[in-house]
Chain A
């Protein structure tokens, strides 16, 4: 009797302690980044070019770079991923082939991102002769987030009740109509949420763009997708590893980290909001 009580007590406290430690790490993380970087934040930090060998000025080109890489990679990966997901769930046959494809996709999504960087270098930069450019970087990021979007699509479609399918078929809908009018609208919240979270992933990755898109320093904005760009994650990396004036460059790196963090928070917050609002509307 006594032993059981002690076990109960110890168990509960072990759980509480674990949550406490996890939260402490989270707050410490946010506190460190913000306390070191938030001081740099200002309108001019967001809108100005770097100056004096990146010891002063803003990070405008890095923001533009990250936004264009993220946007373009999404434009490539979203349609491809959603269509592939639909194919795998609705048309894929035979079943064993589909399961091999799904396993490969899952393996791919567990691959370290630096490997995607090397892949992008050899295939897009060199193979297709696209050079170090927004296009090469976006394609590489697209390959990286494709599995996330495909999985989100497959899982969301799977969660649509069979009843809806049956009802639509019984009304004389063709397979295409069942998919476009019933399954996709019902699966949309899940697909969107998964895809937006993958945008956050793309925005924050350094390794895939290291050899394919990013440049250390440029004072001009990209004119086309064939230009190389600065990007926030790489900017942080570059300032911290190759900077020549750490006392003025390290704060800029932390400032950039805060901006990047806020960007990812906004993106994920949007995803959560969409999911919440659409969940409230659906009730099956």
Chain B
């Protein structure tokens, strides 16, 4: 397995609060990696390190995250191009109050590199990738707000995919959705990993077991255990991990 991302001694503070504690981990190319742990343990914060979204929140970060041989926290990094390479989908579907088309095309339009016809092609491709095309192809001009929650979340995935990112970060993408929409998103993750590397935060242990190749268990800001999902769910090495995945706390 090729290592796509290396996390080296990552620490993060919000003021005095030490949220992430010396995390070291490798994320493998074209896999689904899930991050699990009780709420408040730092999962979202950790995920947001990979596209530097914590920059919006005045976090103090040290350590390195190396992607394509470069530390994304080095001074030379252009944060906007990093974010085009590392897409993100949030807990609550958050399409813009714009049309379905404009939502999907947003990333491409702000890059300003493509012509109109190319953009249309990519929009269609991205919507097909998330199995939304057939549902919306006749109403691309309608507001994205007219879609159901599950459709909105897939639209958000299409929006993130449109710029051809290498990595997609998903922060509890199904926690606001009904079971059917949840299924769809889960199947989609498995399908999409042919093209992109997926890092997904979930509070749903069964979900991690179903869709991820690797699982990271985070507890109080520490990476307690990390390894292949199959192994971790059958023979966890750490006592805490065992307790958590067997539902003793959470």
Cβ of B106 within 8 Å of any chain A Cβ, yes or no, is: yes
Query: Are A168 and B90 neighbours in the complex by a CB distance under 8 Å?
Result: no
Contacts A166-B56, A281-B143 given; does A172 touch B80 at CB 8 Å = yes
Cβ of B51 within 8 Å of any chain A Cβ, yes or no, is: yes
Cβ of B216 within 8 Å of any chain A Cβ, yes or no, is: no
Tell me the bound Cα distance from A281 to B106 in angstroms. Answer: 20
Residues of B within 8 A of A169 (CB): 53, 56, 83
Residues of B within 8 A of A174 (CB): 80, 110
* A interface: dominant SS: helix
The 0/1 profile, CB within 8 Å of A marked 1, for residues 159-190 of chain B is 11001000000000000000000000000000
Cβ of A283 within 8 Å of any chain B Cβ, yes or no, is: yes
Cβ of B92 within 8 Å of any chain A Cβ, yes or no, is: yes
Tell me the bound Cα distance from A113 to B74 in angstroms. Answer: 55
Cβ of B145 within 8 Å of any chain A Cβ, yes or no, is: yes
Cβ of B246 within 8 Å of any chain A Cβ, yes or no, is: no
Tell me the bound Cα distance from A185 to B95 in angstroms. Answer: 14
Query: Are B111 and A172 neighbours in the complex by a CB distance under 8 Å?
Result: yes
Query: Are A173 and B96 neighbours in the complex by a CB distance under 8 Å?
Result: no
- Size of A's binding interface in residues, CB under 8 A: 21
Contact residue among A163, A164, A171, A283 (Cβ-Cβ distance under 8 Å from B87):
A171
Cβ of B196 within 8 Å of any chain A Cβ, yes or no, is: no
Query: Are B53 and A163 neighbours in the complex by a CB distance under 8 Å?
Result: no
Contact residue among B53, B110, B160 (Cβ-Cβ distance under 8 Å from A177):
B110
Query: Are B145 and A284 neighbours in the complex by a CB distance under 8 Å?
Result: yes
Residues of B within 8 A of A283 (CB): 97, 143, 145
Query: Are A172 and B83 neighbours in the complex by a CB distance under 8 Å?
Result: yes
Cβ of B84 within 8 Å of any chain A Cβ, yes or no, is: yes
Please list the residues of chain B having a beta carbon within 8 angstroms of any beta carbon in chain A.
51, 53, 56, 80-84, 87-88, 90, 92, 94-98, 106-107, 109-111, 143, 145, 156, 159-160, 163
By Cβ-Cβ distance, the 7 closest A-B pairs, closest first, are A163-B94, A172-B83, A172-B84, A170-B88, A171-B107, A172-B80, A167-B94
24 contacts between A and B (CB under 8 A): A161-B94, A163-B94, A164-B96, A167-B94, A167-B95, A168-B96, A169-B56, A169-B83, A170-B53, A170-B87, A171-B106, A171-B107, A171-B110, A172-B81, A172-B83, A172-B107, A172-B110, A173-B106, A181-B110, A186-B96, A281-B97, A281-B143, A283-B145, A284-B97
